[in-house]
Amino acid sequence: MMARQARRSAVVALAAALLSTVAACGGGDDASSPIPEPPPLATEAATPTPAGSGPVYVLSGELCKKADQSPLADLYPKEEAQPLVNTERLCITHRTSGEKGIDLTVDAEVLNDEGMAKRFVETGRRLAKRPYTDVTGAGTDAHWSGDKDDVKLTSYNGNLVLEVEASVNVADGLPPDIVQRLVKVAAGTYQRLAPG
């Protein structure tokens, strides 16, 4: 799990470095081959968004206390006593049922505004290493990609991007309705994190 987070951070850093190099060389001016600029992550509380846009989220406290894991509780009723990771922006837990287990990762990123969150999700589609499928019910826009042992849902609502990922041992396999369950995890987490 931590390796995926490190890889993701490295990819974002590499993309930013490539973009700045192309910009410095005068490249990227050709309208036929635009290079998308990855949205910067907010380092402080989110700034207000223009009227008529989505909610403005501000994260605080431990994310595992707010992440909605109930859509997995019927299949994997036992949660480890302590989360594997529990910060303001990242929650990784391990749930079990008998000898089967699942790791659930909820990664929350507060960006400066809804436009940046939208670009983050759209850029994820363009840079996806695996085929993706659009899905509804998890925020304003969402897509998922995965295989029989790892599925990741990426979505945004307002200025908040949620990446919800479930992974299991290959022999155990994921439940056939895992995408719908991850959509519910994201939707419930947006509700629990909603401002006001």
pLDDT tens per residue, range 126-141? 888 889 999 999 999 9
Question: What are the pLDDT digits (tens) for 113-123?
Answer: 999 999 999 99
pLDDT score of 160 more than 80: yes
Q: Exposed (0-12), middle (13-18) or buried (19+): which is 33, by Cβ within 10 Å?
A: exposed
> What is the model's pLDDT at position 170?
73
pLDDT score of 38 more than 70: no
Does pTM surpass 0.75? Answer: no
pLDDT score of 81 more than 90: no
pLDDT score of 171 more than 50: yes
